[in-house]
Structure formats: structure tokens, C-alpha cells
Chain A
Amino acid sequence: MDIQQLLTLLLVVPIVSSIVLWLTPANFKALSTMHILGSIASTLVAVKAVMSVVNGETLFAYDQILFLDSLGGVFLALIGVTGLLVNLYSVKYMQWEVDKGEITVKDAKLFFTLSHLFVFTMTFSVISNNIALMWVAIEATTLSSVFMVALHKGKKSTESGWKYIVICSIGLAFALYATVLLYSAGFTVINDSHSTMLWTTLMTHAKEINSDALKLIFIFALIGFGTKAGLAPTHTWLPDVHSEGPAPASAMLSGILLKCAILGLIRYYAIIGNSMVGFEYVQTIMIISGLITIFIAALFLIRQHDVKRMFAYHSIAHMGVIAFGLGVGGVLGLFAALFHALAHSVTKALAFCVTGNMVQIYGTRDMTKMGGLIKIAPITAILFGIAICSLVGVPGFAIFVSEFLMIQESINTGLIIPVILFVIGLIVIFIADFSHFNLATFGESRTKILTNKIEWSANIPLILLASLIIGFGIFSIEGWVTLLNNAVKIIIGV
């Protein structure tokens, strides 16, 4: 298969899956089979594409408008792996919702159709070399996922859908200004309209582009992509949207979408870092942004009793951690930030999907009404425990690795005060989480249990996610480390 075909397939497979699902009659069995087949096909193409860039190659297609480098490969891997496992889980989840009469089969069909469209837009954002198309794709991720979030009919769901589209669109408007300004500042040195839009060309010419313009561009990009990624202070949409959507939608949004927005920001970070402005400027801004985000999230986390809202604040906190990693910079800091993107992706996908199981068992998201989960559904309780342990950075779980590396690199580079603040933030989150975990897992249930039967078809994708969390926490997986190292080289312009 040639490169052009491969990159085309990355986009065609999810869009075709989406169209096929849309045309499939509203029969749950037929829909779920098509949904699973489509997800597997998308993931196989994504894995094949990622494998071809592990060693640092960059693939181009369509006059370089589409491309895949190791940096994009890292994020494509998230879309492929996390996307598949969440999609597998979503079949059972939607079945529960239909059985309970919360949604109709037609709603489930809409959800499945949109989830492939959503994968298409996210993949497009990752493989666009044209910075304007990357923006278009990131904005399209919002548009394609609004009705995945606002799937239920009712006040809360409508409110969350409205907040989502409005706040993200305002935020991203600034990123569009960043794009326009970068293009016009780049055009004065590159003088070719096609190549000026290409990220790879802008990277090559970064040093020649006007520094003042680039500084303003980075601020705009941070507001824009930062809003979409859930960085404070424009994170306010995230808790509402992640807590109101169906569990698999929250898992996709938190596990993959936020990372795609961060990739958008990283592309700007790399250009400005490699220009005459230098990395110090972008790193300082990212450290401040990261720490503010972590602290705001930690403060709100303490008083959350709604399990999905708690995890939503976790998403914000961990986007803060990734921002902090970008702020620490250097080979190790950037490696840690990218590793954290994967670690958080699988962890948060597991966390949100587990909340789906918990709501099925208790019929509520309020942890003060739960209790005794370990006796009622031990597998769900263990999976919940694994998600929490990874989220708070217990050694042996994936997130520990990246947080440890960030702390190590901060100390090495003399960032003592930021690292102390970072650790304090993490400790607050640690305490808040374990108290919540105890509340839900041990003791006696404080509400009537609806069911204690969670089918294996729901648990298997979650067990696979949990294995990834532990696998990445304990083992150093060679292909993955090589991919990350090559991605870091791209960012620092080696």
C-alpha cells in the first residue's frame, strides 16, 4: 500500500463506517455489529500507519496537505487504541440505555454514527499538515460530538450541549486568528501561498518569522486550543459536558479529544520554540498555565460527590499536568508530556467507562449514595481502583511514569518552586481521590441496588484498558519509547 492510499484510508474508513451506520436500519443488533466492524477497521489502518512512522519517518500525501510524522503517530495511536476499546464498551452501554428506556434505538444509531464521524475529525486534525485545515478539523470535532454529548433529551443535556458548542467555538476563534496571523507573518518570508500553510514549511522557516508576531500568535493559540483542551481559566465547559454525556462519549472526549487539541497547541509550541523567540518563552507560559489549571481542578475536585464530575475535574488537572510537562521542556519533559497524553488517555477512558458500570449498578452518580461496590461488583470495583490509582500517580501505573519524569526533569533544570507547587497540587488530588474511592467502594450501599450483574462484554474492553495502564506503568515498551523519542526530536527541531 502506498503512502497516499494509507493516509486516505485513515480518513475514508471512519467516514464510510459513519455513512454505513447512518444507512443501516434502526435494528440494534445490526447497528452494533456495523459499529464494531467499523471501529476495528479504523484501528487496523491507524495501527498500520503508526507502525510506519515509529522510526522517525514522515509520510506525505496530496501535495503535502496530509502528513504523518512520529508526533502525529503518538496521537493517532491514542485514537486507534482508546477509540476501539471505548467503542467496544459503548455497544453494551447503549444496550443498557435502550433497555432502561433512557434512549431509543434511533438515538443509539445516532450515537454510533457520530462516534465514527468524530473519529474522522480527530484523525483529520492529527494528519493535517495544512494549519488551517487542522483548525477546521479541530472545530469539526466539536460539531460532530455535540449530539453525542446531548444525546439524552432534557434540561441538563441541552444545557451541556449549548455550553460545549458556544464556549469551544469562542475559544477556537482565537486559534483561527493565530492561524491567519501565522500565515500572513509566514508569507512575508516564504512567499508561496501553498507552502506557507504547511506546518512542516513553517517549522523550517521558523527562525525567519517575526518574533513579535509569533509571541502574539502563541497567546492566541493557547487561548484557542487551551479552551478546547480544558486548560484554566477557559475550562468551564468541561465538567458540565463530561459529566452529562453518556459514559462512552465522556471517555472519548476526555481520552482522545483533549489530546488532539493539545497536539494543535504543541504544533504552535514547536514553531515558536524553534523561532528566534525560543523555548524559554513558551515554556514559561506553559508552566504558569499548567500550575493554575492543576490548582483550580484540585480545589474543585475536593468537593465533588458526582463520580463523573470528579473525573471531569481530573481531566482538567491532567491537561494541566501535560501543560506543565511542556513547560518543563527539554527532551525528558517533552517525553513525559507525550507519555502522559497516552497514560491519561487509557486511564480516563477506563475511569469514565467504569462510571457507566457504576450508574448501571446504583442508578446514581452520587458517590455518597454508593458504597460496598467491592462486594456488589468486584470486577468493577477493581477497575475503579486501578483507574483511581493511576490517576493519582501510584507507582506501577502508567501516570506515575510521566509524573515522575516531569518531577525529575524539573529538579534537574532547577525549577524548584514550580515543582514544589506541582507536587502540592498532586497531593491534594491524591487525598481527595482516595476519600472518594473509599466512599464508593467499601462499607454498605446507601441506596437501593438496581443490578449486580455487569456482563463480560462490558467488562472485557475495560480489562484491556486496565492491562494497558499497568503494562505501560511497569514495562518500557520499545516501539512506543522509540516513537515518543522521535516525536520529541520533531518538537525540538533536531
Chain B
Amino acid sequence: MIDLLSVLSILMIITSLLVFGLRNYKISIYVYSLQTFLLVATFLLLSSTHLAEQLSVWAGVAFLTKVVFIPYILLRLIKKLGVVYEDEPVAGFFVSPIIAMGFSLAIAMSIYPIYLEFSLIKESIPLIASITVFMMGIFGFILRNSAIKQILAYCMFENGIHLSLALMAYNSPEIAELGILTDAIFAVLIMSVLAQRFYKYFGSLDISKATELKG
């Protein structure tokens, strides 16, 4: 039988590559939404296979906030700004996602054994996926200059942490998970406001154009 959990995890890794690599903002946001949907599906699956009832609640909250609300905010943002495509990044469209994926997988492979040792749910592939998605988010920040891509990178590493949290600490007090999610939503809202301002003053979403502050 195909291991559904592994399939979902691998799909999450693939979607992280797509969110990172796609030029079209709208499609990137939809793929992010899809990735979060896969995360929700993973939560539901784990809640039944590992008797972790808490995760079904996590799945509901994540669906409302991250599959629906955050993509809605981002879609509204690009509509308001009227932007469609990302400008060519420094390392090119093709090279930077490959570099990011290579490093992310390498880091994930080297540290996941420590995670696995203490994880409440001892599943290797989802753990590797969680670290890879997180690192793809971090590289997204470093290698992409578009403000919207950076917001998506933030959302992506948040997904990575969320998956780690579910695997390693699903029984932690709900208040912690709620607090972390609330921070994430406010962070996206604030970044959206700043991205709008950025576009207004710089006439572009390219962060590398902001060179007023140096030294």
C-alpha cells in the first residue's frame, strides 16, 4: 500500500519548490494555499493514525486561517497593486530554486535524526519535509527580492514549523499553538501593508531597489 503520509509530505516539498520558483504571483499564492491544504490533510491523517485528536482541531484552524484567509489577503494585495509577474531575481528563475532545494534537503537530512529521536510521532519523511519546507522559506527570503515572494517565503517557513510542531509536540497546550498562529497572521497583515507602501514609494516590489539605508 502506498504510504499516504509520505506522499503528502513529498507533495509538500514539491509545492515548496513551486511557490519558490513560479514567476506568476497568483499561481504561487494558489500553490501556497494547496501546500497548506496538504498540511491540513496531514494533520487529519495523523490525528486518526496516531490517535492525536488535538490535530483535528489544528486542521480546522489551519484551514480557515491559512488555506482561506492568508491567500485571500495576498490575492487582494496583488490585485490592488496590479502586479502579475515577479522581476528576474539575482540568481535567475531556474538556478535559485535548485540551489535552495539542494541546500534545504541537505540540511534536513543532516538534522532530522535529532528531531526524530524526540518526536512524539516518529515518522521520518514528514520530519524531513517539515525541515525542508522551513529551509525553503528561509532561502526564499535570501534569494528572492520580490516583497510578495518574501511574504510567501514567510508563510512557507511557518508551514514548515507548523508541521514540525504537529509531529514533535501535538500534545502541547493549545494556547501555544494559537499564539504562534496569531503572530503569523498579524505578521502577514503587517507585511502586506508595508509591501503596499513599498510599491507606492519605490514603484516596484523589488526589495533590492531599497538602498537608502547603508553603512
Contact = CB atoms under 8 A, between A and B. Distances in A.
Contact of B194 (A165, A184, A197, A239): A165
A146 B120 CA distance: 36
Contact of A136 (B118, B183, B198, B215): B183
Contact of A177 (B161, B194, B215): B161
Contacts of A130: 173, 175-176
A216 interface: yes
Nearest to B181: A136
A139 B157 CA distance: 15
B118 A213 contact: yes
B96 interface: no
A184 B166 CA distance: 11
Interface stretch (B42-50, B79-87, B97-105, B184-192): B184-192
B156 to A, nearest CB: 11
Q: B interface, by DSSP: helix, strand, loop or mixed?
A: helix
Given A136-B180, A140-B183, A197-B173, A159 B168 contact: no
B109 interface: no
A307 B150 CA distance: 31
B: contact size bracket = 35 or more
A414 interface: no
B186 A184 contact: no
Nearest to A139: B183
Interface string A168-200: 011001001100110111011000011011000
A340 B105 CA distance: 42
Nearest to B214: A240
Contacts of A139: 183, 187
B33 to A, nearest CB: 20
A347 B212 CA distance: 28
Contact of B118 (A65, A153, A188, A304): A188
Contacts of B171: 187, 193
Q: Which of B141, B179, B186, B191 has the most CB of A within 10 A?
A: B179
B141 A166 contact: yes
B191 to A, nearest CB: 6
Given A166-B191, A170-B141, A196-B172, 16 more contacts: A133-B179, A140-B186, A143-B186, A150-B197, A155-B212, A156-B212, A159-B213, A162-B194, A166-B150, A170-B157, A173-B158, A181-B115, A193-B172, A213-B118, A239-B213, A240-B213
